[in-house]
Chains A and B, each alone.
Chain A
Amino acid sequence: MTADDTGLRELRASVREFLEAKSPEEAVRKLMESEPRFDPAVWAQAADQLRLPGLVIPEEYGGDGFGLVELGVVLEEMGRALLCAPFFATVVLAAQALLASGDREACARHLPGIAAGGTTAALAVTEDSGSWDPALISARAVPDGDGGWKLTGRKSFVIDGTTADLVLVVARTVAGPSLFAVEREASGLAAEPMETLDATRAMARLTFDAVPATLVGSDGAGGRTMAKVLDVASVALAAEQSGGARRCLEMSTEHALTRHQFGRPIGAFQAVKHKCADMLVQVELAEAASLEAARLADEGSAEFPVAAAVAHACCSRAYMFAAMENIQVHGGIGFTWEHPAHLYFRRAKSSQLLFGGPAVYNERLLDRLGI
């Protein structure tokens, strides 16, 4: 299903209105210091009123079957508001991993619960290196003799890993990296929260000690699944980043208009004006790159993998730039704990490095361009 421009505007307006009411700065600040780091009541409302968890889940699994363009609109708004919610882990990472696995049975078992907002989920790929390279996966799974599997190892940087009802884990079997489903209550699973640079996105370290697990998709197909998820997830993240970057630009512009120094608004000084213009350039590029990648994905275009790599690199840089310059435009005010600028700075840096960072995404782009 695809929304037209009017539909996208309406979607944006309703999500923005919801987030202004449910995720103002005070709420974000309160949640980032609580456990869990989201408000279950708000999450339930997002599901019941806006049907957000089911937005991009196919209709056959109880969702509304929209594409990445619609998902991008929602994530831009969530990025602006720094919403603390299990949306990214559940809808973007875990649900996309289920879909990418091609395992219809696993999809039918888990996706309706996710779409309805009842189930939250996480995707555990990275280990202590933080790398998404399938070759670096050391967690192992062995058959338990009864058609199930036992999983052993450790995962780090697992977003919403302490709260997710369902954990999808990439572990190595004899056939290679493979995807497994683990229930929250499974015996031998321990989760501890990690201290994070960006407190608005909870991360956990999970340890698996012979944890019962179910294979999702084919044995050994985990590498391919990860690659597909990474493309979708980096485009989704790009939208979240461009929303955050746009918000930083707005904060700077507002401040440059109202803050007076030497008898003039600081925005009248060319040095400040050009800083804001540079931010605008970055934000415009970021929005275009993220939207174009989403559009190519929804069209099933062969150009999507290149566009996904561009969106990831472009939006990562744009957000980091906007978050840094935002503090600079605000001067000393921007360096205080009370000012929200640091929350965006933290989110920007941690998002930039979430899937490996510039060294990794630069090479991914060159690889896709055949260089």
Chain B
Amino acid sequence: MADDMQDFAAEARAFLDAHAPKAPDRTAPVWGEGDDSMAYFSSLPPEAERQHVQRARDWQRVRHENGFGWITGPTEYGGRGLTPVHDLVYDAVESEYDVADTGVLSVIGLGMIGPTILAHAQPPIKERWLPAMYRGDAVACQLFSEPGAGSDLASVATKAVREGDSWVLNGQKVWTSVAQHSQIGLALTRTNPDAPKHRGITAFLVPMDVPGVEVRPLRQMTGGADFNEVFLTDVRIPDDHRLGEVDGGWTVALTTLMNERATVGSEGAGPVAAALSPDHLSALMRATWTWDDRALRARLAELLTDALATEYLNSRALRGLRAGGTPGPERSVSKLMYGQNLTRAAHFVSDVLGPRIIADTGQWGTYAWSELLLATPALRILGGTEEIMKNILAERVLGLPKEVRS
């Protein structure tokens, strides 16, 4: 690591030492002790959920006040003006500390929408919202998906019609994470139904408290409601809330999607780490008296081979970035493997547990795994289905022909 990077890491460490305790090691559990939650998605009751969001905002504010809130952002909007490598270095240092989970802010808002606003929004919007987002005051959501358009995002049907200096939006969005906590949403709308579908889209920043915006939680198969439906009924938005050109929204969407691929699949802590931790899985096999089952052992070895190889792939990619290289196909491969590794881990553990995962015996660390099991189908869908990710790899990396698309 270069000298300035070492100085930066030391500065980050000094900040974290002063503001957060060291993280406990979740990967080496003492069987029967501590929290056995394996929830990938939130299943908190509303009041606990609100507190969770508040803790995220509080920690983001502390980060921001100490110069670590937006490491790569321009200084005029409260950023630090440093490189993505500094960001990675900070993340690595912070992972050693027990800090609030800021995913509610960072995964979508700071990771994808912030960079999009920076690239495409008009000056008053940048000044109004960027500092607020990175200070933890504003949560942002992505109003992209619609009931009729899954991965075919260019098929959005939500309409925006110009009326003087304003636009009037009507339509329905779905699968909107964190909309229930959001102050702003980035919406894709159809402004020209006659143009080819990619060329008739316009992007707007929608303040979520304006009249006509209604957020309804969408209950998913885990039982929780992490996603929402958002109904837009005669929502009036001033023209300065438009991002990019009229009918030029696809370019705006691509900025967000590029940043999405850089964000999804990089989670490393919590139930994910436990599900793929050799120590944790070994402890589970001992606790269930299955540790010498040859068939299960072979499956465990295959699972760990993939989990560790994925880790090696990530560290190779990280080393490449630190050395100033450009990102390769590793992100897409890593995202695919992440979903598959966790899925296989959840099914492996289920088979180790047997009936103890179909009904709760009250034993620590057994039925709790059902939370992860029920979340795994989503991991093969969110952020682009496995099929879409494979198309991307085949077309953009291997250069195979595109699917026939209208």
Task: Give the interface of A toward B (CB within 8 A).
Answer: 5, 249, 253, 256-257, 264-265, 267-268, 270, 272-274, 276-278, 280-281, 284-286, 288-289, 291-293, 306-307, 310, 313-314, 317, 358-359, 361-363, 365-366, 369-371
Contact A289 B301 (CB under 8 A): no
On whether A278 and B278 interact (CB within 8 A), knowing A285-B313, A314-B309, A366-B297, the answer reads no
Contact B309 A289 (CB under 8 A): yes
Contact A362 B400 (CB under 8 A): no
Contact B394 A310 (CB under 8 A): no
**Complex-state Cα separation, A307 to B390, whole angstroms:** 27
B1 at interface, CB cutoff 8 A? no
- Picked from A268, A284, A365, A371, the residue with its CB within 8 Å of the CB of B400 is A268
Q: Which residues of B contact A286 (CB under 8 A)?
A: 309
Contact A270 B403 (CB under 8 A): yes
On whether A277 and B391 interact (CB within 8 A), knowing A257-B401, A292-B316, A370-B282, the answer reads yes
Task: Give the interface of B toward A (CB within 8 A).
Answer: 278-279, 281-282, 285, 291, 297-298, 300-302, 304-306, 308-310, 312-313, 315-316, 323, 329-330, 333, 336-337, 387, 389-391, 393-395, 397-404
On whether A276 and B398 interact (CB within 8 A), knowing A270-B387, A289-B309, A362-B297, the answer reads yes
Q: Which of B279, B282, B313, B403 gathers the greatest number of chain A CB atoms within 10 Å?
A: B313
Q: Which residues of A contact B291 (CB under 8 A)?
A: 371
Q: Which residues of B contact A307 (CB under 8 A)?
A: 308, 312
Tell me the number of A-to-B contacts counted with CB atoms below 8 Å: 127
Contact B301 A365 (CB under 8 A): yes
Q: Which residues of B contact A273 (CB under 8 A)?
A: 390-391, 394-395, 400, 403
Q: Which residues of B contact A253 (CB under 8 A)?
A: 398-400
- Picked from A256, A293, A371, the residue with its CB within 8 Å of the CB of B300 is A371
8 CB-based A-B contacts, threshold 8 Å: A257-B399, A273-B395, A274-B387, A277-B393, A289-B309, A310-B304, A314-B306, A362-B301
On whether A366 and B300 interact (CB within 8 A), knowing A270-B387, A285-B310, A288-B309, the answer reads yes
**Complex-state Cα separation, A35 to B297, whole angstroms:** 43
Q: Which of B281, B394, B403 gathers the greatest number of chain A CB atoms within 10 Å?
A: B394
Contact B297 A292 (CB under 8 A): no
Contact B298 A362 (CB under 8 A): yes
Contact B402 A268 (CB under 8 A): yes
CB distance from B349 to the nearest CB of A (A): 14
On whether A362 and B393 interact (CB within 8 A), knowing A273-B400, A285-B333, the answer reads no
Contact A281 B278 (CB under 8 A): no
Q: Which residues of A contact B308 (CB under 8 A)?
A: 289, 306-307, 310
Contact B315 A292 (CB under 8 A): yes
**Complex-state Cα separation, A371 to B290, whole angstroms:** 12
**Complex-state Cα separation, A285 to B99, whole angstroms:** 32
CB distance from A357 to the nearest CB of B (A): 11
**Complex-state Cα separation, A294 to B316, whole angstroms:** 12
CB distance from A251 to the nearest CB of B (A): 12
Q: Which residues of B contact A361 (CB under 8 A)?
A: 301
Q: Which 10 A-B pairs have the closest CB atoms?
A: A362-B301, A277-B390, A267-B400, A292-B312, A288-B313, A273-B394, A268-B401, A369-B278, A277-B393, A371-B282
**Complex-state Cα separation, A286 to B312, whole angstroms:** 10
Q: Which of A272, A278, A313, A370 gathers the greatest number of chain B CB atoms within 10 Å?
A: A313
| Further 17 A-B residue pairs, CB within 8 A, beyond A273-B391, A277-B391 | A257-B399, A273-B390, A274-B390, A274-B394, A276-B398, A280-B394, A280-B398, A281-B393, A285-B337, A288-B312, A306-B308, A310-B309, A358-B298, A371-B282, A371-B285, A371-B291, A371-B297
Contact A284 B312 (CB under 8 A): no
Q: Which of B301, B302, B304, B336 gathers the greatest number of chain A CB atoms within 10 Å?
A: B301
Q: Which residues of B contact A366 (CB under 8 A)?
A: 297, 300-301, 304
- Picked from B300, B302, B306, B329, the residue with its CB within 8 Å of the CB of A284 is B329
